[in-house]
Amino acid sequence: MSSSLWTLCDLKPGERGRVVSVQGTDSLAARLLEMGLLPGEEIEHIGTAPMGDPIEFSVYGYRISLRRDEAGRVQIEKQR
């Protein structure tokens, strides 16, 4: 069984993934890590705003909303 990497943008509502990494070394990457998007954490796509941005996720039992470009920096493995 091979695992392929996706980003949070690739999840559809109701799908779950496990965080692999956050791309970058800037303040945005640090902020995403501070928000709980740490390697190994499970995350679920809750919903998307009508125009497609932002996207709402559940991690650590709370909800966060990320812009599509922010979500694109978080690599995940999709859960089956």
Q: Is the pLDDT of residue 68 over 80?
A: yes
Say if CB 57 and CB 43 are below 8 A apart.
yes
**pLDDT, position 51:** 87
Residue-wise pLDDT for 6-61, tens only, equals 999 999 999 999 999 999 889 999 999 999 899 999 999 999 998 888 999 999 88
pTM of the model: 0.86
- Sign for the CA dihedral angle at 63, 44, 3, 67 comes to negative
